[in-house]
């Protein structure tokens, strides 16, 4: 099937003029093995932590994986992330093994915070096993946020050992400059300064847990500024999705806004049927402004803040309010993505 034919098999794309922006084919899927994590980073888009739950079944992973291949063929790329996927090493290995057996062959990377990296022999063994079932790259997360929870020596040991097993090109530390510079647990004042530096160095969006403390540190926009924007181009041009341990599908990095579930519908089918202007709640994010959502939230009791960091800060804050008041379920969910 040609690329154009494929694009027009999406229900939203079918009715557009040739010159209008189409919903892109999803090319990547981030499979979130779990929401559980030994860390609880202030910038976690998915609000992961020690008290969070979920463990992706092999079946859910294969549903998502095969659907992505159906959509994007050779261009499909899967990475496995969390939470911390090495908390459930056996399941991680099982999923990668099954994908290899199915001939999927596009496991791009596995992301970890290095918390588990204590013993060189154990690290070597685990990485060798994952390499033998197709893992190309190991991505190690390291910055001021992770430094509050993870010992830098573990991250260094992991990076060094991973390089021996996977080669220098097979390991990526995000961010190497913080690892080279050295960093550890900090008091609140130093921590806030480092967090501000980090958001300047590597701008991120203020969603998930980032919409709490960090967003408040940098908030300088009023409600008009953050509600007048549209997320249309973000939804249409998202290169891929994240799939959570329960099979919930999120567009790009928009955590906590469920656009489908791979346990109920194949990922390719979810893409074909995704019609943002017709979806409850999502249509309002897709529209020209978020004023209608704001009005509806305020009518239900949402208290507008004096300032916001960006549109995602407002979106997440408002969704937390809707989640707490039981509105827009099951689109706004699951519970793990929201503060309890
Ligand atoms: S950002 Fe990564 S390491 Fe930090 S809490 Fe989230 S999943 Fe865990
Ligand atoms: S405002 Fe909401 S929908 Fe738009 S990009 Fe941010 S999190 Fe996603």
Reading the chain (340 residues) residue by residue, the pLDDT tens digits are 555 558 999 999 998 999 999 999 999 999 999 999 999 999 999 999 999 999 999 999 999 999 999 999 999 999 999 999 999 999 999 999 999 999 998 799 999 999 999 999 999 999 999 999 999 899 999 988 999 999 999 999 999 999 999 999 999 999 888 888 887 777 777 778 877 787 877 777 899 999 988 898 899 999 999 999 899 999 999 999 999 999 999 999 999 999 999 999 999 999 999 999 999 999 999 999 999 999 999 999 999 999 999 999 999 999 999 999 999 999 999 999 998 6
Q: Which ligand number lies closest to the CA of residue 36?
A: 1
The backbone region for 247, taken as left when phi is positive above 0, alpha when psi lies in -120 to 50, beta otherwise, is left
Whole-structure pTM value: 0.95
**143-164 tens-digit pLDDT:** 889 999 999 999 999 999 999 9
pLDDT for position 182? 80
Q: Which ligand number lies closest to the CA of residue 209?
A: 1
Distance 8 CA to ligand 1 centre (A): 37
Q: What number does the ligand 1 atom closest to the CA of 145 have?
A: 4
Question: What is the spatial distance between Cα 111 and Cα 79, in angstroms, rounded to a whole number?
Answer: 8
Tokens of 118: 């204590």
pLDDT for position 213? 82
Does residue 248 have its Cβ closer than 6 Å to ligand 1? no
Contacts of 1 (CB under 8 A, 6+ apart): 9
Does residue 83 have its Cβ closer than 6 Å to ligand 1? yes
Does residue 319 have its Cβ closer than 6 Å to ligand 2? no
pLDDT for position 46? 95
Question: What is the spatial distance between Cα 103 and Cα 87, in angstroms, rounded to a whole number?
Answer: 26
* Torsion angle (degrees, nearest 10) of CA 264, 266, 267, 268: -140
Does residue 147 have its Cβ closer than 6 Å to ligand 1? no
DSSP classification of residue 136: -
* Torsion angle (degrees, nearest 10) of CA 12, 15, 16, 18: 120
Chain Cα centroid distance, residue 125? 28
Question: What is the spatial distance between Cα 289 and Cα 166, in angstroms, rounded to a whole number?
Answer: 47
pLDDT for position 189? 77
């Amino acid at each position: 099937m040609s690329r154009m034919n494929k694009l027009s098999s999406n229900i939203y794309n079918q009715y557009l003029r040739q010159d209008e922006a189409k919903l892109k084919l999803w090319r990547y899927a981030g499979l979130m093995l779990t929401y559980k994590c030994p860390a609880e980073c202030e910038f976690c888009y998915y609000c992961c932590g020690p008290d969070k739950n979920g463990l992706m079944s092999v079946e859910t992973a294969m549903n998502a994986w095969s659907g992505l291949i159906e959509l994007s063929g050779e261009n499909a790329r899967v990475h496995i992330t969390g939470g911390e996927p090495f908390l459930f090493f056996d399941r991680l290995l099982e999923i990668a093994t099954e994908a290899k057996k199915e001939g999927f062959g596009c496991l791009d990377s596995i992301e970890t915070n290095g918390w588990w990296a204590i013993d060189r022999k154990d690290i070597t063994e685990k990485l060798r096993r994952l390499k033998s079932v197709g893992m190309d790259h190991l991505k190690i997360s390291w910055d001021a946020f992770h430094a509050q929870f993870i010992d830098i020596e573990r991250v260094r040991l992991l990076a060094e050992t991973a390089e021996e097993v996977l080669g220098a090109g097979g390991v990526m530390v995000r961010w190497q400059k913080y690892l080279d510079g050295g960093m550890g647990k900090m008091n609140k004042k130093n921590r806030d300064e480092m967090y501000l530096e980090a958001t300047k160095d590597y701008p991120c969006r203020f969603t998930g847990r980032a919409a709490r403390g960090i967003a408040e540190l940098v908030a300088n926009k009023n409600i008009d500024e953050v509600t007048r924007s549209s997320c249309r181009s973000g939804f249409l041009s998202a290169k891929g999705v994240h799939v959570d341990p329960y099979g919930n599908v999120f567009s790009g990095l928009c955590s906590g806004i469920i656009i489908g579930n791979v346990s109920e519908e194949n990922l390719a089918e979810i893409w074909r049927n995704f019609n943002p202007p017709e979806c409850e709640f999502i249509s309002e994010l897709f529209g020209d402004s978020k004023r209608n959502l704001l009005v509806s939230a305020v009518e239900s009791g949402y208290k507008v803040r004096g300032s916001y960091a960006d549109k995602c800060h407002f979106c997440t804050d408002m969704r937390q309010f809707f989640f707490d008041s039981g509105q827009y379920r099951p689109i706004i969910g699951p519970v793990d993505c929201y503060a309890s």
